[in-house]
Amino acid sequence: MFHSGFPLPDLVLGASLYFPPMFKAFLLGLVFWLLIHRVLRDWIYSGEVWHPTLMDLSLFVISICAALMLMVNL
């Protein structure tokens, strides 16, 4: 239906369909992560559970997934 046969317009159409929701989820997840990180900062950097960098990264990924699920379900 939207296929024009030229790669650039198809790429622009695909980017306009799929990129904005992921970008919005990324930004919302970043806000969630900033809030969670501020609350749990001392516990994360104590290293008593996991390596601090891995804990930060896992919380960031969970925040983005939660934001995407929130966007899909609302």
**What's the pLDDT tens digit per position in 19-57?**
677 788 899 999 999 999 999 999 989 988 889 999 999
Distance separating alpha carbons of residues 56 and 32, to the nearest angstrom: 12
- Domain ranges for the chain, please list them: 18-73
Distance separating alpha carbons of residues 33 and 3, to the nearest angstrom: 38
Residue 33, SS3 per DSSP: helix
In the predicted structure, residue 72 carries a pLDDT above the cut 90: no
Give residue 61's pLDDT: 95
Give residue 6's pLDDT: 61
In the predicted structure, residue 62 carries a pLDDT above the cut 80: yes
| b/e burial code for range 26-40 (CB count within 10 A of at least 16 → b) | eebbeebbeebeeee
In the predicted structure, residue 8 carries a pLDDT above the cut 90: no
Confidence bin at 1 (pLDDT 50/70/90) = low
